Chain A
Amino acid sequence: MKVTQSQFRAGLLDPSLPAPKGLANPDGAQASKRFDVYRNNVAVSLTEALIAAFPVIYKLVGDKFFRAMSGVYLRKHPPSSPLMMYYGDKMPQFLRRFDPAKSLPYLSDMARVELAMRHSYHAADATPIDAQALASLAPEKLMGTKFTFAPATHVLPSEFPTYSIYRANTVADAPKAVMRPEAMLVTRPQFDPKQTLISAASATCIASLMEGNALGVAMTAAGNELDLGATLGLLLGLNCITALT
């Protein structure tokens, strides 16, 4: 009576299935509760991994809701790699279509923020350029310059106040969020990812630069609202530019 790993896995992920035949208690009887130990280990460990990945969403929806949601997520999207630090990459898409969370439409964008924080934390170290390198560029060259960013950099525009909601749930005495669009820059000046609230125009400019466009193109995309000096000052101050070409 052979138990294949396909049968074993199917039983792990579907609690309505009986334990595979061929697994036994010490008295020789068909195992049932003993198989549940593995079922439970898989569900609990993946749920804990999601709680660790999405602490703000966990706080927003509460323990009971988060665990129930995780149960659906982990069966639909089991990890595709043993690197649990990146588990949950499909959460933004999942939350967009998860009906029970409909009343919190910003959860999907919050998942993108929390994934960005994680990826930033584990991103490769990078050496920033000296602020002088940018200041010393001839003005006629500046518009054609392309920027290389530290891998820990993420820009996250949202139609929801994700920056304020994140702070309200992680910083003591932070003000309550007001419903409005917000954009956020995630950087890692040293070891701790840092969030900065930026304007929509700044976000468009930085996103365009990160796609590999020259500064002139990024400025055009961002439009008249862009405060170029402030945007470049921010990028330099947060150690997120690593090369100019």
Chain B
Amino acid sequence: MDATTPAVAGGFEPRITAFVCNWCTYTGADLAGTSRLQMASNVRIIRLPCTGRIDPMFITKAFERGADGIIVSGCHPADCHYNAGNYHARRRFAIFRELMDFLGVDTGRITFSWVSASEGGKWRDVVNDAVTRVRALGPFTDYRKLVVDPVATATGVVPPEHVGKEVPA
């Protein structure tokens, strides 16, 4: 199936947040764009200095705010602009992935990749694979069903981070 087009017209389209490093994957994604490669438009990119800067809390926060899937991507091993950031990230996310799996989150929603500045084609594949996978898994309703602040619900005062967010029935 082609990831760039929805499976069903008007059907579920996943929202995917990508945390990428400035030096490799961001430039690679830029290359994919300037090369006019066709890829799914479901991914919102957040540029960070390094994969070593990506705290696992970024991912839980993205899920809280309604992401259906996550991509974390950076420089290949030995290519880190800061020498070792990606090695640290590799350990951290190996553990994080196991933790999410243990807590019952489908790890298919979380994609890790190394994409260099010259790999526009690989970035397209990573994005299309992730979109296809998360589209099949469906919306991450489990996480969204985690109740919104009961105080806010009772008082009608909606905290800023909940504004514009769909409150499940």
Real complex partners, A and B?
A: no
